[in-house]
Amino acid sequence: MVMAGPCAVESKEQMFASADAVVAAGAAMLRGGAYKPRTSPKSFQGLGPMGLQLLDEASARTGLPVVTEVLDPRDVERVAQHAAMLQVGSRNMQNFPLLREVGRQRLPVLLKRGAAATVDELLFAAEYITNEGNGNVILCERGIRSFDTATRYVLDLAVVPLLRERSDLPIVVDPSHGTGRASLVRPMALAAAAAGADGLLIEVHAEPHKALCDGMQALLPTDFAQMMVDLRRLLPMLGRRLVRPGVSGHGASANGTISDEFIAP
């Protein structure tokens, strides 16, 4: 399953252009951040409720369900009204009140590994969610911090088969954040698929040079379309296929659905 879209929702024009591109290329879900945790308080923090509304409109336009990040336990109910999947970002992997709150929801939760988190810490974080009754947790590898600045993070693909040994939860890889460089996203996405990942989280922006957040790692629509072609060629060699979930209406939890093949039993 491929989830794709811009890092942040910036405007209707930007969101629609990205959404049109990813659905045309065959993505199964639409990603976009209405709330953005940023290292600097001066950086773009997202459009908040307006961003959620634009995600609704983009979802209605394309028929794709939405995955978007929630930062604050107090916002979980609001964000859940606009999403088919809730994302807990790397900075919040050990925000235990937030983990408990998303665990009380019925929506799937995409849990990103922290930049300095061990595998054990990631699995314990997932347990905080499942202990509240929500077993639909998806683990996301998005790179860990190291001494080397050649890439934004070190994308730990060995963790995919390792997590497969230790957990029954689905595993997603985010090569966009994991490398921080658009030129590296496609080869690492294919490598993640070969390693056995269940899904990919890919940043796509129609004008990356104008992006308000992480433009250097966003694929152009044409490059994303080529990546999807390459995935369709690769996956059958591995005995697998690209998933397109059935969707009815927009991506809100009342309408959008996620494929049973992707959700943990």
Q: What does the pLDDT look like over 127-167, one tens digit per residue? A: 999 999 999 999 999 999 999 999 999 999 999 999 999 99
pLDDT surpassing 60 at residue 18: yes
Tell me the pLDDT band of 247, cut-offs 50, 70 and 90.
Answer: very low
3-state secondary structure (DSSP) of residue 21: helix
Paired with 219 in beta bridges are: 204
Helix axes 221-234, 12-25, angle to 10 degrees: 20
Q: Cα(244)–Cα(230) distance, rounded to whole angstroms?
A: 16
Mean per-residue pLDDT over the chain, rounded: 91
Tell me the pLDDT band of 20, cut-offs 50, 70 and 90.
Answer: very high
pLDDT in tens, 39-93: 778 777 778 999 999 999 999 999 999 999 999 999 999 999 999 999 999 999 9
pLDDT surpassing 90 at residue 206: yes
Is CATH 3.40.1130.10 what the domain over 2-38+65-236 is classified as, yes or no?
Answer: no
pLDDT surpassing 50 at residue 218: yes
Q: Cα(149)–Cα(152) distance, rounded to whole angstroms?
A: 6
Structure tokens at 223: 């490059």
Phi then psi for residue 66, to 5 deg, are -110, 140
Q: Cα(239)–Cα(220) distance, rounded to whole angstroms?
A: 29
User: What pLDDT is recorded for position 45?
Assistant: 73
User: What pLDDT is recorded for position 245?
Assistant: 53
Tell me the pLDDT band of 213, cut-offs 50, 70 and 90.
Answer: confident
State which of 31-40, 170-179, 210-219 shows the largest mean pLDDT: 170-179
Q: Note the pTM of the prediction, 2 decimals.
A: 0.90
Q: Cα(2)–Cα(13) distance, rounded to whole angstroms?
A: 22
Tell me the pLDDT band of 252, cut-offs 50, 70 and 90.
Answer: very low
Paired with 69 in beta bridges are: 87
H helix and E strand count, the chain? 9, 8
pLDDT surpassing 90 at residue 257: no
3-state secondary structure (DSSP) of residue 160: helix
Structure tokens at 177: 């954040």
pLDDT surpassing 50 at residue 260: no
Q: Domain limits of the chain?
A: 2-38+65-236
Q: Cα(141)–Cα(129) distance, rounded to whole angstroms?
A: 17
Give the residue-averaged pLDDT of 183-191: 98
pLDDT surpassing 70 at residue 263: no
Q: How far apart are the first and last CA of the chain?
A: 17
